[in-house]
Amino acid sequence: MTKKELQDYYNINSLCFIEYDVMQTQTYFYERESSYWKKHWKKTRSVMKRYKCKLIHHGDFSEFMGSYSDSLNKIKIMPPAVFVQIEDNEFTGICNYYKTLWHEIFHCIIHHEFHVNMLLKYEAEEMIVEEAVRDIVLNDICPEYYQYLNNKGDLVNVRNKFKKECDEYIEVYRKKLLYDEKDKKQFEIYKCHIINKLKEIYNKCK
């Protein structure tokens, strides 16, 4: 899609359009016109440079963004998207859109071997981190959770109970992920401990 087509499709005339030529491919980035968003985007670029990230194109960009169409139509903004590759590791898409961004980063931590100490360089709000951790707990660490809810038919009560029980571990989870890059073995120990603890909580809530 051309710049004009993307702007018309997502109704983003109020946004600042940024275009890069990456690997002979046009990859599109969007930046909200606000001091906070530009500051956030500046940090993103800084972190990517520090950890030798490469900007890459992955598939059809308009198709990727299309998955957000329902929420975009309501709030009339389009989240900036960055596709990154850290050194020679597997790449993933990261959306710089509040907890979506954090969910993707935590997803990388659990399923891939990315540099974990990228996390706090973003200095995100506590709420974003907490919600992202809960997303990981509910979606990744305990994949049987939704099957359990379907069987029990009590989504709200069980979900709320599980989230409440997890609250005391949220801060622990966040801090332990901020490890010294040289101490990766210790981080893996922390990660296993926390995941096991969250599974324990989940089983108790059933």
Burial of 64 (0-12, 13-18, 19+ CB in 10 A): middle
Is residue 131 domain-shared with residue 84, that is, in the same domain?
A: no
129-135: which pairs have CB atoms within 8 A and are 24 or more residues apart?
129/102, 129/170, 129/174, 130/170, 130/174, 131/99, 131/102, 132/99, 132/102, 132/103, 132/105, 132/106, 133/106, 133/166, 133/170, 133/173, 133/174, 134/163, 134/166, 134/170, 135/99, 135/103, 135/106
Burial of 80 (0-12, 13-18, 19+ CB in 10 A): buried
Q: What is the pTM for the complete model shown?
A: 0.24
Is residue 91 domain-shared with residue 110, that is, in the same domain?
A: no
**What pLDDT is stored for residue 187 in this prediction?**
54
Provide the CA 193 distance to its chain's centre, in angstroms.
22
Is residue 89 domain-shared with residue 110, that is, in the same domain?
A: no
- Supply the DSSP symbol for 90: P
Q: Can you tell me whether residue 88 is helix, strand or coil?
A: coil
The mean pLDDT value of the chain amounts to 42
pLDDT digits (tens, 9 = 90+) for 163-172: 555 555 555 5
- End-of-domain residue from the set 97, 116, 141: 97
Is residue 88 domain-shared with residue 119, that is, in the same domain?
A: no
Is residue 40 domain-shared with residue 110, that is, in the same domain?
A: no
Is residue 112 domain-shared with residue 185, that is, in the same domain?
A: yes
pLDDT digits (tens, 9 = 90+) for 1-20: 344 544 454 443 333 333 32
Is residue 115 domain-shared with residue 85, that is, in the same domain?
A: no
Is residue 114 domain-shared with residue 92, that is, in the same domain?
A: no
Residue 116 lies in domain? 106-206
Which string of DSSP letters, residue by residue, matches 103-135?
HHHHHHHHHS---GGGGGGG---HHHHHHHHHH
At which residue do the structure tokens 């194109």 appear?
Answer: 57
Is residue 31 domain-shared with residue 111, that is, in the same domain?
A: no
Buried b or exposed e, range 135-168, using 16+ CB within 10 angstroms: bbbbeebbeebeebbeeeeeeeebbeebbeebee
Is residue 91 domain-shared with residue 114, that is, in the same domain?
A: no
Q: Would you state the structure tokens that stand for residue 76, as one six-digit string?
A: 């009339």
Is residue 56 domain-shared with residue 111, that is, in the same domain?
A: no
Is residue 188 domain-shared with residue 164, that is, in the same domain?
A: yes
- End-of-domain residue from the set 97, 114, 142: 97
pLDDT digits (tens, 9 = 90+) for 92-140: 333 333 333 333 433 333 333 223 333 333 333 333 334 444 444 445 4
- End-of-domain residue from the set 64, 80, 97: 97
Give how many domains the chain has, as a whole number: 2
